[in-house]
């Protein structure tokens, strides 16, 4: 028993005396954020992120917007500059979105005054798209 304890101490003691200092964090590159209202096609309507549907969303969703323009749309992510485009069809207050990037990607939007609630299908949710509410920009 004594040999086991002594052996254990011989393994632990050198590890305790080792001092690894943490490195400084990498600097964060400067990001230029363009005005979300800039560079919109004529006749388009823009909706800016207004809040989550049911759970907290990540920063990229909080900086996103939808631009609708006569049957086509773009989902823009402000910080990354990423944009997803596709087509939509509106029937009353319901909007069906089909994304060009992947034929399996679709979402359903619900208009309520100046508010647009967007819910993605399961495939998109598993690809980190987050359900959210957007508010129309005047």
Residue 108 lies in a domain: yes
Q: Note the residue count of the chain.
A: 138
How many other β-carbons are positioned within 10 Å of the β-carbon of residue 6?
9
Q: What's the pLDDT at 128?
A: 94
Query: How many domains is the chain partitioned into structurally?
Result: 1
What residues make up the domain containing 75? 45-136
pLDDT band, very low/low/confident/very high, at 125 (cuts 50, 70, 90) = very high
Q: What's the pLDDT at 22?
A: 47
Q: What is the pLDDT of residues 71-107, one digit of tens each?
A: 999 999 987 889 999 999 999 999 999 999 999 999 9
Residue 8 lies in a domain: no
Residue 110 lies in a domain: yes
Residue 99 lies in a domain: yes
Residue 97 lies in a domain: yes
CATH of the domain at 132: 2.40.128.280
Query: With 80 as the cut, is the pLDDT of residue 68 above it?
Result: yes
pLDDT band, very low/low/confident/very high, at 4 (cuts 50, 70, 90) = low
Strand partners, 73: 68, 86
- The residues near 51 (Cβ < 8 Å, ≥ 6 apart) are 132, 133
**Cα gap 15→124, rounded to integer Å:** 46
């Amino acid at each position: 028993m004594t040999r086991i304890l002594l052996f254990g101490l011989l393994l632990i003691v050198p590890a305790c005396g080792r001092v690894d200092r943490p490195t400084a964090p990498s600097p964060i590159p400067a990001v230029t954020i363009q005005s979300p209202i800039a560079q919109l096609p004529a006749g388009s309507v823009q909706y800016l992120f207004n809040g989550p549907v049911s759970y907290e969303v990540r920063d990229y969703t909080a900086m996103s917007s939808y631009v609708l323009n006569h049957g086509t749309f773009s989902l823009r992510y402000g910080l990354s500059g990423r944009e997803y485009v596709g087509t939509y069809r509106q029937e009353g207050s319901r909007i069906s979105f089909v994304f060009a990037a992947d034929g399996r990607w679709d979402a359903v939007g619900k208009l309520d005054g100046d508010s647009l609630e967007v819910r993605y299908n399961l495939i998109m949710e598993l690809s980190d798209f987050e359900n959210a509410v957007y508010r129309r920009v005047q």
